[in-house]
Amino acid sequence: MNPILNKQNSPENIRLLKASSVAYKKAKLWEILITDFLIILAIAYPVYYIYSTNEKIKLALFGCSFFLTILIQLFTNSFKGNTSKGALFKEEFDVSIFELPWKTTLRKPDQAEVSKYSLEYKGKEIKNWYSTKLSSNISHNVAVAICQRINTGWDIELRKTYRSWLKGFLIAYSIGLFCFFVLLKVDGLTIFLIGFSILSFYTHLFSLISGHSLVIQKRENISKKLDEIIISKKHITTNELRDIQDEIYLTRQEPAKVPDFFFNLYKKQMNLEFEDYIETVNRIY
């Protein structure tokens, strides 16, 4: 095992990982609730508008859709609070084991808050966040770069897969809705009312897809730089590693996240892929 990983299982660092996990779970919960709620409305609205004859209820639904769209736009940023905390806790974990200097403009996590969040953790035991198979022959700075590369790689592949699912669902829903309108010969006014009522659904999904795409692009740029260093055995300084860590921290604050159930679907496959990556890097060095 590479010496860089000696501290990753210390009580202080495990506490940070637990706190980060809880913070991200809370942030994901709001996103999942909003997404599920909008999906239900996106299916229920067209059915009700077409089959109901009560015009007052239709107008009420139209009004609810209008206010829902506004509320989502107003409170989206407030849901980011727990995401920022999760990113900050994870940043302190990385800086601790990578032995990087703390960014001077960034305030360190409140330890009382770390304790509060970590005590709420109810999941499986957290151990060996970074692979222990990383060779001890690899120098400190290169080992840090490899761990950073694993961080970005995990996130890129997971987000790409989830983004494809989101796009597929959006396309399937749109085609289904169009066929629904054509087969039932829905009039123009009803189509307008339905379209406006499901606007918040489309806005939310487009926002998620855009958010994931932005993070993917940023992390691919980071990964490309890290690959050049790792594969070509280029020298890398602590300052360069600190700059890369800054970029990783920023992308961790993106509100668009991958749900835990989706992560669990691909966890085993991705673990195997990155274990293979570690073995490849070990052979190079």
Determine the pLDDT at residue 240: 94
Determine the pLDDT at residue 78: 61
Query: In the numeric block, which tokens belong to residue 80?
Result: 């980011």
Rounded CA-CA distance 182/185 in Å is: 5
- Taking a C-beta distance cutoff of 8 angstroms, is the pair 147, 130 a contact? yes
Determine the pLDDT at residue 273: 84
Q: What is the mean pLDDT of the chain?
A: 88
Determine the pLDDT at residue 79: 61
Q: Which residues contact 118 (CB under 8 A, 6 or more apart)?
A: 15, 16, 18, 19, 22
Q: Which residues contact 131 (CB under 8 A, 6 or more apart)?
A: 150, 274, 275, 278
Rounded CA-CA distance 192/45 in Å is: 12
pLDDT over 90 at 96, yes or no? yes
Task: Count each helix (H run) and each strand (E run) in the chain, helices first.
Answer: 9, 0
65 band by pLDDT with thresholds 50, 70 and 90: confident
Reduced to 3 states, what is the DSSP secondary structure of residue 263?
helix
Query: In the numeric block, which tokens belong to residue 236?
Result: 């890398």
Determine the pLDDT at residue 196: 82
Q: pTM (2 decimals)?
A: 0.84
Residue-range definition of the domain harbouring residue 36: 3-284
121 band by pLDDT with thresholds 50, 70 and 90: very high
Rounded CA-CA distance 114/27 in Å is: 16
- Taking a C-beta distance cutoff of 8 angstroms, is the pair 95, 4 a contact? no
Dihedral sign from CA coordinates of 178, 179, 182, 187: negative
Burial 176-195 (b: 16+ CB within 10 A, else e): ebeeebeeeebeeeeeebbe
Question: Hey, how many other C-beta atoms are within 10 angstroms of the C-beta on 131?
Answer: 18
pLDDT over 70 at 76, yes or no? no
Determine the pLDDT at residue 44: 83
- Taking a C-beta distance cutoff of 8 angstroms, is the pair 152, 223 a contact? yes
The three-point CA angle 254-246-17 to 5° equals 70
Q: What is the CA 94 to chain-centroid distance, rounded?
A: 18
pLDDT over 80 at 136, yes or no? yes
75 band by pLDDT with thresholds 50, 70 and 90: low
| Number of separate domains in the chain | 1
Rounded CA-CA distance 149/226 in Å is: 6
